[in-house]
Chain A
């Protein structure tokens, strides 16, 4: 009679799974064939939503913006995190302090970080432009220039998350045996050669992990442009998630926004699968 007990234990999860995961997935597919604003009855429209999606210039702009964001954010993230981890992974005092300082933005709400950076990016009184001016450079239109704004947001996102990846790289760096470096030193390899031929190959798995984690995180870019630019100027910071949000909760296009959500989720899974494929081939 002990056989039913396990099912009692997993029942809360199963209920949750059915209600908030399985049903929504099925329902979202059904929604893509309908037009619906929640209040009026659902109207079957066949493949109209899909046809509309492929002609929706703003959606493709949002997808391109998101990909552009990722293309800046990910390399920046890897280089910055690896550099800081490399500096930390030496006989250095106050290591704990530095680690805690780098990690602080990771735990703070993105809302707070965005409100602060909106001021740092300020045109005349912003700290960054004041710093540039004191070094003799001209001011940068961080958020008002359409070709720079997405770069600025990528810089901010990197600053917010880099601490987490510093820790992951530190774990990776500590798995490299000391004896490798000692042997290299005997052979007369310089610092750069040691980094290039010992450190880098050894932490390859960590690099891929950082790339995948920041890809998944980057695709959900939402609150930063929502607070800072509302997608502007000229829709240059309109992220895919922000566009879906506006379609759903600004216009109440439930069927269409479900179509966008499904398509976008497929894209995310495809990109991550491609990255994983690439890793497996490397190994």
Chain B
């Protein structure tokens, strides 16, 4: 294959991935009547779609909810993942191997099996329509534990032994001495957890009915299917733009980290 053909193919492919997002942004800024005939560049610009959307759904509130849910889940996964991963990698205790196999096993368990019982649990805890339903079940992740275990295994024991001699407790050794040495793992797990939480929509649809507690993808989904957008395409697209925007900005800045993190999760 000659070089120019390769570049043409790659450029066409890149366009097919980028153009739909560009179209979404431009269309969201175009008056409803003109969206159908939209070319590459918009002729008329308007923020009308956005002001209509803000009037119809609590998108700002849902943004705040999403940030809170994703931050708290990520914090939990990082702290508890590091603790369990550290115990598995560096401490001796009865049942350690058993625990390791249980964690591997839970990763092969399809979520379809626990979805309904977990919903019932939320009902029984009276957590339906509370932030707890979104955060608490997401505080631990088997994948994170295995990542941390692997990272801690590569750190020599001398580092901990020296700290123990100085009388440091296990938690201080873990968070103050070991964690700074495994920053790439922390970043990987952090990005993946935050992104998964941010983009998750099935679980919020199940446990949250109260509009003021909904996450952003949930609000946008219900807006798009529930008829409240009143078949106004521009308004629907404006909501989609706001949902995508934080991720696009984060991706533009941390692009390399995103790709590496996702690839390493796939390679596991």
Q: Which residues of A contact B (CB under 8 A)?
A: 3, 5-7, 9-10, 12-13, 16-17, 19-21, 23-25, 27-28, 31, 38, 84, 87-88, 90, 92, 97-112, 115-117, 119-120, 125, 127, 159, 163-165, 167-168, 171, 191, 209, 213, 216, 219-220, 222-223, 226-227, 230, 241, 244-245, 248-249, 254, 257-258, 261-262, 264-265, 268-269, 272
B145 to chain A: which residues have CB within 8 Å?
A: 13
Q: Are B13 and A84 in contact (CB under 8 A)?
A: yes
Query: Which of B84, B113, B117, B248 is A9 in contact with, Cβ under 8 Å?
Result: B84
Query: Which of A9, A168, A257, A265 is B109 in contact with, Cβ under 8 Å?
Result: A265
The 10 closest A-B pairs by CB, nearest first: A24-B117, A6-B93, A265-B113, A24-B114, A101-B14, A16-B140, A265-B110, A125-B36, A6-B91, A9-B87
B interface SS class:
helix
Query: Which of A17, A92, A120, A223 is B10 in contact with, Cβ under 8 Å?
Result: A92
Q: Are A107 and B10 in contact (CB under 8 A)?
A: no
Q: Is B201 an interface residue (CB 8 A)?
A: yes
Q: Are A88 and B240 in contact (CB under 8 A)?
A: no
A105 to chain B: which residues have CB within 8 Å?
A: 17
Chain B interfacial residues counted at CB < 8 A? 79
B120 to chain A: which residues have CB within 8 Å?
A: 27, 31, 38, 254
Q: Smallest Cβ distance from B133 to chain A, in angstroms?
A: 11
30 residue pairs bridging A and B, Cβ less than 8 Å apart: A6-B92, A7-B93, A17-B140, A21-B114, A24-B113, A25-B113, A27-B117, A28-B114, A84-B13, A101-B14, A107-B247, A108-B21, A111-B199, A111-B243, A112-B244, A115-B24, A115-B224, A164-B266, A167-B259, A167-B262, A209-B267, A227-B221, A248-B115, A249-B206, A258-B116, A261-B113, A262-B113, A264-B112, A269-B108, A272-B108
The stretch of B1-9, B41-49, B56-64, B153-161 in contact with A is B1-9
A248 to chain B: which residues have CB within 8 Å?
A: 115-116, 119, 206
Q: Are B13 and A102 in contact (CB under 8 A)?
A: yes
B121 to chain A: which residues have CB within 8 Å?
A: 19-20, 23-24
B217 to chain A: which residues have CB within 8 Å?
A: 109, 111
Q: Are B10 and A88 in contact (CB under 8 A)?
A: yes
Query: Which of A104, A111, A264, A272 is B221 in contact with, Cβ under 8 Å?
Result: A111
Q: Which residues of B contact A (CB under 8 A)?
A: 1, 6-7, 9-10, 13-14, 16-18, 20-21, 23-24, 27, 35-36, 80, 83-84, 86-88, 91-93, 96, 99, 102, 106, 108-121, 123, 137, 139-140, 145, 170, 174, 195, 198-199, 201-202, 205-206, 217, 220-221, 224-225, 233, 236-237, 240, 243-244, 247-248, 251, 255, 258-259, 262-263, 266-267
State whether A12 and B10 are in contact (beta carbons under 8 Å apart), knowing that A108-B21, A112-B243, A112-B244 are contacts in the complex. no
A interface SS class:
helix
Of A17, A31, A264, most buried by chain B (CB within 10 Å of CB) is A17
B109 to chain A: which residues have CB within 8 Å?
A: 21, 25, 265, 269
Complexed CA–CA distance, A68 and B23 (Å): 30
Nearest residue (CB) in B for A219 is B110
Q: Are B117 and A31 in contact (CB under 8 A)?
A: yes
Complexed CA–CA distance, A31 and B113 (Å): 11
Q: Are B106 and A268 in contact (CB under 8 A)?
A: no
A164 to chain B: which residues have CB within 8 Å?
A: 262-263, 266
Q: Are B201 and A109 in contact (CB under 8 A)?
A: yes
Q: Smallest Cβ distance from B63 to chain A, in angstroms?
A: 13
Query: Which of A19, A25, A116, A269 is B23 in contact with, Cβ under 8 Å?
Result: A116
